Structure 1
Amino acid sequence: MSLSLALSMAAFALAASLSPGPVNLVAFHLGLNRGLIPALRHVSGATCGFSVLLLSIGAGLQWLTQWAALMHAIRLGGVAFLLYLAWRLARSDGALTQNTAARSPSFVGGALMQWLNPKAWIASGAGMAAYTAGDPARAVPFALIFFGVCYLSVGSWALLGAGLRRRLPSPERVRWLNRGMGLALLVSALMLATMSLHGSGAA
């Protein structure tokens, strides 16, 4: 694989991973409310979940995206999950707590967010089609590049939240910031619901 192809793959992965979205907003929230180390569970889960999805589509599961009922179910699941997260953020009291076993960020939750995200399916399908052209020899290097870029991208949101954790000691400020992120997740859920109602699979 040429260097130019690897750089192109990395640029695609960066554009898909770094832009604001539910996974990154949750990473930011966890970094702010729990600290960087606990938030990395979510980061790791989201990265691994996406990588498994990417490889699965590369292995031939892209035909699943043609099933309207399946994509509709994924969108509805994503809407429900985002609404739940928005509700949790809106109810936050703004207290910056330490990680506890009962409330700690979840690796599985991070992975689940990716599998319930139609945009992750679309990005995986588009990336595999554009950069591997059905060649398994390219699928694994592409997934490895995406894994590294995705981890750093989502991790940077968690790092940003953890940095603000030291600058926003007031529970009131944190509470309003959490509500703002909850509103952003609510908007994402409404956009996803609109996509579902129109039967669109576009990002």
Structure 2
Amino acid sequence: MSLETLTPLCLFALVSTASPGGATTLATASGASFGLRGSAPLIAGIAFGLATMAGAAAMGLAGILLAIPSLQLAMKAIGSIYLLWLAWQIAGRGPPHLAQAQASPIGFIAGVWMLWHNPKGWAMTVSAAASFASLADEPVQLGLLLAATFGIFAIISLSTWCITGLLLARLLRTDGQWWALNISLATLLAASVVPIWI
């Protein structure tokens, strides 16, 4: 497989993983409060969740999930409630010295959980599986290719968002600025629920 044939898939994965949404907002907020090292489990969990989702989509599981309306509705509800709960946690976090005393960083399992309950993520990975099916001879091979591509680009994109949060944190001097940042990030995370229902 040549670089030319992989370039469109890589661009699709880059745009999909780097565009603002729930995962990028969580990575930014975590970076601001806990730094890159403290956010590594969250980033790994989201990347693993997206990679396994992309692999499952290529192997046909996502088509089954999206074809059952009641299951899709349940996924939307669970995912939305979880994202709103995380937004509430971020909004109440405050400055890092308080945040680290009050809470611990979001972990690997929470990152995976968030992704697996995201119908928008399933739709995106199904679209990728359909669009790039010609890159592989069989579903398992396509699944491995999509899983690796989305996993790698998720790590790169989320690490970039996390570092952005860390750099932003270095600019903030007062507790009021920290509260404003956390409330802004929490609002963005809560707003990311809206596209799930549209």
Unmatched 5+ stretches in structure 1 = 196-203
State the TM-score, normalizing by the size of structure 2.
0.89
Distance, in Å, in 1 between the alignment partners of 2:14 and 2:101 is 32
Q: Given the superposition, is the C-alpha separation of residues 191 and 145 from structure 1 closer, same or farther in structure 2, using an over 3 Å criterion?
A: closer
Distance, in Å, in 2 between the alignment partners of 1:186 and 1:140 is 32
Q: CA deviation at 1:11?
A: 0.3
What corresponds to 1:116 in structure 2? 117
* 1:146 and 2:158 aligned: no
Does structure 1 retain, via aligned residues, the 8 Å contact 2:51–2:150?
yes
Distance, in Å, in 1 between the alignment partners of 2:14 and 2:24 is 13
Unmatched 5+ stretches in structure 2 = none
Distance, in Å, in 2 between the alignment partners of 1:184 and 1:98 is 19
Deviates more, 1:53-62 or 1:72-81: 53-62
Does structure 2 retain, via aligned residues, the 8 Å contact 1:34–1:99?
yes
Q: Please tell me the residue identity of whatever aligns with 2:66.
A: T
What corresponds to 2:76 in structure 1? 75
What corresponds to 1:185 in structure 2? 189
Q: Deviations over 1:106-164 (max 9, x none)?
A: 01111111111111101110101111257333332232122111110111101111112
Aligned residue among 158, 161, 164 for 2:165: 161
* 1:15 and 2:15 aligned: yes
Superposed CA RMSD in Å reads 2.0
Distance, in Å, in 2 between the alignment partners of 1:98 and 1:180 is 16
Distance, in Å, in 1 between the alignment partners of 2:162 and 2:23 is 10
| Number of aligned residues | 194
State the TM-score, normalizing by the size of structure 1.
0.87
Residue identity over aligned pairs, in percent, reads: 26
Deviates more, 1:129-138 or 1:74-83: 129-138
What corresponds to 2:4 in structure 1? 4
Distance, in Å, in 2 between the alignment partners of 1:131 and 1:175 is 43
| Secondary structure, aligned partner of 1:51 | helix
